[in-house]
Amino acid sequence: MNATATAVEELAAFKKLAQGIAQLGRAAPPVDLSADERVARAKQVFIQKTDAQVALDLESCLHCGMCAEACHFYEGTGQGRYAPIHKLKLLRKVYRRELGPFRLVHRLLTRDLSVADLEQWQELVFDSCTECGRCDMICPVGVHLSRGVHITRQALAAAGLAPAELRALDAEQSRTGAIFGADVGVLRSALEAVRAQGITVPLDKPRAEYLVLTTAPDLLIYRSSLAATARIMNHLKFDWTFASNAFEAASSGALSGDEAAQKQATQRIVDAALACGAKYVIVPECGHAYPTLRWEGPNEVDRTFPFEVLAISELIGREIDSGRLRVKPVGAAKRVTFHDPCKLGRKGGVFDEPRKALAALGVELRETESRRATNYCCGGGAGVFLLERAAPLRAAAFRIKREQFDATGAQSVVTSCDSCRMTFAAGAEQTNWNVPVESLVKLVADHLATGEAT
């Protein structure tokens, strides 16, 4: 299939998935909790998650408001309530009343957390925060704001107040292990489609050095990225496999704040990796899945992993460095810019490896003004792209991102995250922006040096 046909097919699949996402909230299970139960559950999470590090954050804020200047949602809307530090207000309230050194005074002087507070904060920590962490980079005293937002998400989730779309995903993944209906049947059919291209794709090998994960958008929309992953693994002659009992890398619980769901998804992958004796688990182009497994996973399942977790872009960069992965130069005539997915970059530490791949491909890389640790988020991370009512906020964030891209004069944007690609695709459609957004994995796979194994 040529590139244009692939793009058309992927756009159609994207629109179909987008229609499904718009209906997602209707599938959310009902929550039967009284107001008092919601408040009690939220407070329990706030207290449980506030350790000495979080407490130091909450004791140190100057209320300078600089964090807002790093936030795309504040910059895009001018609404003061989107200031990151404001989003930590409930966490600070509970800390001060329940744990802080002056709690007796605060209990006398401040009112307790209410369910109205929790309901009001839903928009602030879900719709208008992608937990991208750009605010963490600007705070003059070093408050870890995105961590505070995530704790607040977890508190709201415990209170049954995560947005319906995310609760629906949690329920689906807990029940089937899959999201967006991309279950094992869809996996098998997608792999068959890849095999039909003459590409070898192992599934359920009893022993394998590399356990490779995929994700629903790759199965439903970006099948070319799925095929590209297989081509690269084969090119490297790795002993690898997909596992039908643990193929979905995404973790809805990491988005909604439902820690039980997150732990279940992580445990499924860990069990599969241990069962096949994997030394490496490869995370596909799914931004949040990487820090969820690589950095949070060991804490969720309370053990240090006996295997290494690598993002596919990280693996590519490493193998190019080692000389085992050889690519043909695309040529400097191709001018690209690279979008660092927040969860891979700022929250994951994967900055250099994708750039090594682009350097090996010989393309002219034109960096955006804000890049690497200060990169602007796509606007849809941490599940925001799933929230119907957050569409205006995503549009505001996309305007900033688009300006950054356009200023580079690049012919295309390369990235390594399906959520970012989908968010950009939606923004492009709404604003008639016609700069293609490419998968790094596919770009590399399309330019593998001769002798490629299939």
Partner 1 sequence: MTLLDFARGPAMFWAMTLMIIGIVWRLAGTVLLARRKDRSSPRGENRVAAGLRAVAMRSVPPHELEKSITFQHITGYAWHLGWFATFLFFAPHVPFLKSILGFGWPGLPNQAIVILAAITLAILLALLVRRMVHPVLKVISDFDDYLSSLVVCAPLVTGIVTYAHLFPDRHETMIALHILSVEALMVWLPLGKIFHCITALPLRFQIGATYARRGVKA
Query: Can you give the binding site for partner 1, defined by CB under 8 A?
Result: 50-53, 55-57, 59-66, 68-70, 74-75, 78-81, 83, 85-86, 99-102, 136-144, 291, 294-299, 302-305, 308, 345-351, 369-370, 373-374
Closest distance to partner 1 from the beta carbon of 351 (Å): 8
Please give the structure tokens belonging to residue 141.
Answer: 């005293």
83 or 422: CB nearest partner 1: 83
Closest distance to partner 1 from the beta carbon of 6 (Å): 33
Alpha-carbon span 310 to 350, nearest angstrom:
9
Closest distance to partner 1 from the beta carbon of 371 (Å): 8
15 or 89: CB nearest partner 1: 89
Helix boundaries (H) for 80-205: 84-87, 89-98, 103-109, 115-122, 134-138, 145-158, 164-176, 184-195
20 or 142: CB nearest partner 1: 142
Closest distance to partner 1 from the beta carbon of 391 (Å): 22
85 or 445: CB nearest partner 1: 85
Closest distance to partner 1 from the beta carbon of 182 (Å): 27
Alpha-carbon span 254 to 66, nearest angstrom:
27
Q: Are 244 and 274 in contact (CB under 8 A)?
A: no
352 or 446: CB nearest partner 1: 352
Alpha-carbon span 276 to 379, nearest angstrom:
37
Closest distance to partner 1 from the beta carbon of 283 (Å): 14
Alpha-carbon span 61 to 331, nearest angstrom:
49
User: Looking at the DSSP assignment, which residues form a beta bridge with residue 212?
Assistant: 282
167 or 263: CB nearest partner 1: 263
Alpha-carbon span 277 to 75, nearest angstrom:
47
**Residue 9 — φ and ψ, nearest 5°?**
-65, -40
141 or 274: CB nearest partner 1: 141
Closest distance to partner 1 from the beta carbon of 255 (Å): 19
Measured torsion, CA atoms of residues 19, 22, 26, 29, in degrees rounded to the nearest 10: 110
224 or 251: CB nearest partner 1: 251
Q: Are 118 and 163 in contact (CB under 8 A)?
A: no
Measured torsion, CA atoms of residues 195, 196, 199, 204, in degrees rounded to the nearest 10: 10
Please give the structure tokens belonging to residue 188.
Answer: 């098998």
| DSSP characters over 216-242 | HHHHHT-HHHHHHHHHHHHHTT--EEB
Alpha-carbon span 132 to 345, nearest angstrom:
10
Closest distance to partner 1 from the beta carbon of 264 (Å): 18
Alpha-carbon span 69 to 75, nearest angstrom:
6
- CB-count burial class (<10 Å; 0-12, 13-18, 19+) for 207: exposed
Closest distance to partner 1 from the beta carbon of 205 (Å): 25
Please give the structure tokens belonging to residue 129.
Answer: 């925060």
Closest distance to partner 1 from the beta carbon of 210 (Å): 18
Q: Are 142 and 392 in contact (CB under 8 A)?
A: no
65 or 409: CB nearest partner 1: 65
Unique residue bearing structure tokens 């030394």 = 279
